[in-house]
Structure 1
Amino acid sequence: MLVKRNLSPLRVVGYVWRPTLYAAAVSVAVLALRLARPDDRWYRLPFAPIGTLAAALAIVVAFRANASYQRWAEARTLWQGITNNSRILARQVIAATGDAITAGKGGPPPDVLAFQREVVLRVVAFARVLRAELRGTETTEGLDRFLAPAELKRIEAAENGSNMLLTDIGIMIKAGVRAERIGQFDPIVLEPNLAALNNWAGGAEKIKTTPIPRQYSFFSRAFIATLTTLLPFGLVGQLDGVLLWWLVPLSTMTSALFILLERTSEVNDQPFANAVTDIPMTAICRTIERDLREMLGDTSLPARPVPVDGYLW
């Protein structure tokens, strides 16, 4: 996620240089035609229709940008829900097992605490596995601190490892009730938060696998290319004398603005693409780990996530 105010010009150019180069090339060609054939009129298009096209296109591009941002914002909301429900579920498990220790149930206190820790760390593992699945990176990277080797292999081989971990947590809760490490009525409040994690994960998977309608992208690009091509032919009839030399920069910068907005929308369409514009899932997962391990009483916690060079992963 970008957190710095100013963007690197080189990185911005990297996104838009090809279509912008085309816009500049068309402008230079029209300028050369005007200088070579100053009396010809056939290439001088009326500016009013082109200006109308630009105004209509601005509305389309703005709609496209808004739809893309809504997807990005929805993705961030889903991960905030995962964070919140992870904390709630951990708190409820810790409170329920603590009550069992106080009542002298569930076996020796160290066994109850080991059960408590196992459940809570699986919640941490769930967030990390979901992040890896959404980004398409190594699923079990760094999970050896939370899961046993046999479980790591099982999660790595699973089609949906994050869902498998939630299933394991549900099974452990039922086993905890039978062993009296969790009260028999505690699942009534535990299960809704476990289900909420399933819902948040499903919402993220929906965004990952369902792009914005491709018609929006195609027609935005097609009409931007049309405007880029026609704009110099409309401006060439409006500029004369010294002002004629402004044809190339004016046409190129105007086209570049539309191109940049379209490319920004395209990037925001994919909040889980493992790019600098992503939702900061690595930072969120670390926050979840810090919070839940602190709730377990750990004092040696991973460092708080901070931006690096203006980017928060």
Structure 2
Amino acid sequence: MAPRRRAPAGRDRASVGGRATRSTDVIVKHQFTPASMWPYARFEIVLGMISSAVAWLLVAQLGVHQVALPATLATVTGTALSILLAVRVNTAYQRWWEASGTWAQILGASRTLVRVVVAVTDAKTAADPVAVAAFQRDVARRQTAYVTALRLQLRGQLDAMGRSELAAHLSAEETPTVATADNPATVLLAGQSRRIFAAFGAGILAGFDNFQMEVALAAIAVQQGLAERIAMQPVPRTYAVFTRYLVHLYVAVFPFTILAAAAHDQWTVIPATLIVAFAFRMLERIGTVVEAPFGGTVQDVPLTAITTILERDLLELVGDPERPAPPRPVAGYLW
């Protein structure tokens, strides 16, 4: 696990697919250094060091045995706290997994949309091939702009930098409207629908072709709503604060409950407390960082890489050679 990172000065964007993007990533490496984990658990480790040192000093050195607590207190409270932390981590991971699944659905529906557009329009031998090719590219590029806009919205990055990144995917006609919209993704999805019906009016599409494409757009809109719900409705803060305080209380009390069990080697209370403090804090912290899959941490769903992959796929479907390079992990992180 690694802490939340800020990009170095002058590098607030990362290069993904040869294009500048905001630097938010997901961990793909398998090993972590103590230095990378220290920021997560430093308070609990220091608290455990102080409480265990005080317990050892009072009992082993000064003989104040009255401060020793029953060992069953550590057993019962430790078991209850472990169950609470397990539930919290599971809840957080379910949110992360739901967010990942939502984006998988958006990818699948976007590919379906462009695939149907290409298959249907290529079969229209009577249509103007230039107009058909332009329509195919227009749909593919607008869909790329859509997922870029949705990524920026979910991560709260629709500032000047984010809107500049989005503008690179827009046509000159759409830029004034989309780049200043409160919800650019919804505006782009509506524009996609209008473009499809305009193609129907121009004779590029016929029959029920447009309704097949609307099915894909409807599926995308549903998944957008699910993703927005995850982003806007976090786990209640009282749950996180309550769990953290319980961990702190347990770490502070724990060394006083195991002094009797370590009668001959009471100094071992100190390392034992540090291990318990580290383990419980890391479990609590995992639940905190994973519960916000669009929160801008290294545990995020890798939306930038996902949108880059989708852009490559869609442009390949319409025969556009100007595709970004595939995303690659950088120092164990996938942007």
Same fold (TM over 0.5): yes
Equivalent position to 1:272, from 294, 313, 329? 294
Distance 1:115 1:179 in 2: 11
Q: 1:283 touches 1:305 (CA, 8 Å); kept in 2?
A: yes
Distance 1:275 1:214 in 2: 18
Distance 2:192 2:256 in 1: 65
The residue aligned with 2:263 is 240
Equivalent position to 1:5, from 22, 30, 49? 30
Change (3 A) 1:55 1:229: same
The residue aligned with 1:63 is 87
The Cα shift of 1:144 comes to 4.4
Equivalent position to 1:89, from 110, 113, 119? 113
Q: Is 1:178 the equivalent of 2:201? A: yes
Distance 1:237 1:31 in 2: 11
Q: Is 1:149 the equivalent of 2:172? A: yes
Equivalent position to 1:21, from 35, 46, 53? 46
Per-residue CA shift, 1:131-163, capped at 9, x if unaligned? 111112243343445312342232221111101
The residue aligned with 2:324 is 302
Q: 2:137 touches 2:320 (CA, 8 Å); kept in 1?
A: no
Change (3 A) 1:84 1:247: same
The Cα shift of 1:203 comes to 0.8
Give the percent of matched residue pairs that are identical in Structure 1 and Structure 2. Answer: 34
RMSD value, Cα: 1.5
Partner-residue secondary structure (3-state), 2:154 = helix
Q: 2:58 touches 2:65 (CA, 8 Å); kept in 1?
A: no
The residue aligned with 2:130 is 110
Distance 1:163 1:24 in 2: 53
Q: 1:140 touches 1:152 (CA, 8 Å); kept in 2?
A: no
The Cα shift of 1:237 comes to 2.3
Q: 2:231 touches 2:292 (CA, 8 Å); kept in 1?
A: yes
After superposing on structure 2, the runs of 4+ consecutive aligned residues of structure 1 that deviate more than 4 Å are none
The Cα shift of 1:27 comes to 1.3
Equivalent position to 2:308, from 260, 266, 286? 286
Q: 1:96 touches 1:183 (CA, 8 Å); kept in 2?
A: no
The Cα shift of 1:182 comes to 1.3
The Cα shift of 1:49 comes to 1.8
| 1:28-43 correspondence to structure 2 within 5 Å | 28-38=53-63, 40-43=64-67
Name the aligned partner's letter for residue 194 of structure 1. Answer: L
Q: Is 1:164 the equivalent of 2:187? A: yes
Q: 1:112 touches 1:181 (CA, 8 Å); kept in 2?
A: yes
Partner-residue secondary structure (3-state), 1:149 = coil
Query: Mean Cα displacement is larger for which, 29-38 or 5-14?
Result: 29-38
Q: 2:255 touches 2:273 (CA, 8 Å); kept in 1?
A: yes
The residue aligned with 2:72 is 48
Distance 1:154 1:125 in 2: 13
Q: Is 1:98 the equivalent of 2:122? A: yes
The count of corresponding residues between Structure 1 and Structure 2 is 307
Partner-residue secondary structure (3-state), 2:40 = helix
Partner-residue secondary structure (3-state), 1:157 = coil
Name the aligned partner's letter for residue 199 of structure 1. Answer: V
The residue aligned with 1:206 is 229
Q: 2:29 touches 2:332 (CA, 8 Å); kept in 1?
A: yes
Query: Mean Cα displacement is larger for which, 277-286 or 12-21?
Result: 12-21
The Cα shift of 1:110 comes to 1.2
Per-residue CA shift, 1:43-73, capped at 9, x if unaligned? 0001112211001111111011111001101
The Cα shift of 1:7 comes to 1.7
Per-residue CA shift, 1:163-186, capped at 9, x if unaligned? 110000011111111111112311
The Cα shift of 1:298 comes to 2.1
